[in-house]
Amino acid sequence: MSMLIAAFMFIALLAVSTAHFLWSIGKTWPIRGEKLLAQTVVGTAGIEHMPPRLASFGVAVFILLAGIAALALADHDGNGLWLTIAGFVFALLFLARGGIGYTAWWANQTPEPNFRLNDRRVYSPMCLFVGAGFLALAIMRLL
């Protein structure tokens, strides 16, 4: 069961990592222009451009490492207590990001309509599911 959870998490995280990597090299996939992409994936008021490319690359690497960690967590016998702790840390980070997406404070920070729509329908739920996956994988390692 843990390998199935980890596999689904890895597929989702790989897709997100790939998108961030493409943005880090100047591509605007899947949106037709940089301004609309920034409004859709960043969402801050009046945003005209994507954040620095190095930031997108850093997010891509972090998300890919999270996906690899999910796969590693599915191996109950490997990598010891530190990996289990890392699983709980990843769970906390993703659950926090997912939960904050439903707060009024976050809506004030990210008022762009395209972002708001996608955050409620895609970004926040995905973070919650990934966070729940990390939590489940970390707990299963302890049982």
Q: How far apart are CA 95 and CA 133, in angstroms?
A: 10
Task: Name the domain count of the chain.
Answer: 1
* Cα three-residue angle 135-85-7, rounded to 5 degrees: 45
Decide if 47 contacts 38 (C-beta within 8 A).
yes
pLDDT at 79 over 80: no
Q: What is the pLDDT of residue 76?
A: 82
**In contact, 71 and 6? CB cutoff 8 Å:** yes
| Nearest residue to 97 via CA among 126, 66, 121 | 126
Render pLDDT for 83-127 as a digit per residue (tens, 0 to 9): 999 999 999 999 999 999 999 999 999 999 999 999 999 999 999
Q: 7 is in which domain, residue-wise?
A: 2-142
Considering the chain, what percentage of its residues have pLDDT values greater than 70? 100
- On average, the pLDDT of the chain sits at 96
Q: How far, in Å, CA of 42 to CA of 88, rounded?
A: 26
